[in-house]
Amino acid sequence: MNRKVTIVGAGNVGAAAAQRLAEKQLSDVVLVDVNGEMPKGKALDLSQAAPIECHDSKIMGTSDYSYTKNSDVVIITAGIPRKPGMSRDELIETNSKIMKEVTEKISENSPDSTLIIISNPLDAMCQIALKTSGFKKTKVIGMAGVLDSARFKTFISMELDVSVENIEAFVLGGHGDTMVPLPRFTTIAGIPVTELIEPKRLEEIVERTRTGGAEIVSLLKTGSAYYAPASSAVEMTKAILFDKKKIMPCAAYLEGEYGISGIFMGVPVKLGKNGIEEIIEIRLEPDEKKALEKSALAIKNLIDSLKI
């Protein structure tokens, strides 16, 4: 195949993303991990599913970055996940070092790639990747909004017993407790959600979305969510590989958009072959704007503590 995607971190999210990329025949996949021969084992196992799943994507596992050369997209999931009771921010020390080391190697081997950052705390990890890689800000994108919006859509579809395909929803802001689900932009077959779900119940669904990651962490006991995060990363990858110009909520580096500067935060962006091709600015109501500013402040405080 003439499209190549590297996934750094062959753990839960990385392996699930490799499987989806291959089975959808979107690209060849290189799985990179520091954990001995584990990435080789996972790649071999995934390759042996190919004759049954009927795809010709090549999947390899390695710890050697020379195999990642000239990747089109690089998905970075390397790091440690949360344990029950932990916040995403508590991962910062360990994951910052890993993100720096990985981005150095990736930018050497694939200087023209687009980076999709997954590791937590997401907004801060994006900042490290941008600084370390020296890439243009349009080529470093964080995955959170697609997942948070998918969670919001799932809960709405459960509530109304309607197809998930009917639902459009947007979650903006940071990937944490201050994320900003926007009921005003949420529709079911074009019908505003506020026509179908009463405000109190909708607020409960919004709150479940905000804590959607923690709900899964507490059920799994070890590790955090990975099927939906992998799907979200693959959706973004597809938009870039196929130049789809698709609008989705992603963490982007802001320089004045929404009145915010110098941090990554979830906003609607258009994804295509050049990465982020446009940041879409929508007019927000005062309470929505306030919520977004609160989210930005939480991200800024975390970044300041990192001194990056």
Q: Could you list the active site residues?
A: 175
- How many of the other CB atoms lie within 10 Å of CB of 259? 12
Site for ligand TXD in 220-259 (CB under 6 A): 223-226, 229
* 144 counts as binding ligand TXD under rule CB under 6 A: yes
Give me 233's structure tokens.
Answer: 């990363």
**Measured between alpha carbons, how far is residue 22 from residues 4, 36, 71, 78, 264 in Å?**
11, 23, 15, 20, 30
* 120 counts as binding ligand TXD under rule CB under 6 A: yes
**Measured between alpha carbons, how far is residue 75 from residues 69, 79, 142, 147, 191 in Å?**
14, 12, 10, 15, 35
Which is closer to ligand TXD, CB of 97 or CB of 290? 97
* 127 counts as binding ligand TXD under rule CB under 6 A: no
* 90 counts as binding ligand TXD under rule CB under 6 A: no
Start-end of H helices in 134-211: 145-160, 199-210
* 216 counts as binding ligand TXD under rule CB under 6 A: no
Spell out the residues 6+ positions from residue 193 whose beta carbon is closer than 8 angstroms to its own: 156, 169, 183, 186, 187, 202
Give me 147's structure tokens.
Answer: 């997942």
Only segment of 126-134, 217-225, 235-243, 282-290 that touches ligand TXD (CB under 6 A)? 217-225
* 118 counts as binding ligand TXD under rule CB under 6 A: yes
Only segment of 65-73, 117-125, 157-165, 239-247 that touches ligand TXD (CB under 6 A)? 117-125
Least Cβ distance, residue 88 to ligand TXD (angstroms): 6
Residues in binding contact with ligand TXD, number by CB under 6 A: 35
Q: Select the residue interacting with ligand TXD from 42, 68, 72, 81 (CB under 6 A).
A: 81
**DSSP-derived 3-state class of residue 21:** helix
Least Cβ distance, residue 189 to ligand TXD (angstroms): 27
Cα separation, 140 vs 13, whole angstroms: 19
Site for ligand TXD in 7-66 (CB under 6 A): 8-14, 32-35
| Contact (CB, 8 A) for 29 and 22 | yes
* 175 counts as binding ligand TXD under rule CB under 6 A: yes
| Contact (CB, 8 A) for 272 and 245 | yes
Least Cβ distance, residue 87 to ligand TXD (angstroms): 11
* Residues lying near ligand TXD in the complex (CB under 6 A): 8-14, 32-35, 77-82, 91, 95, 98, 101-102, 118-120, 122, 143-144, 147, 175, 223-226, 229
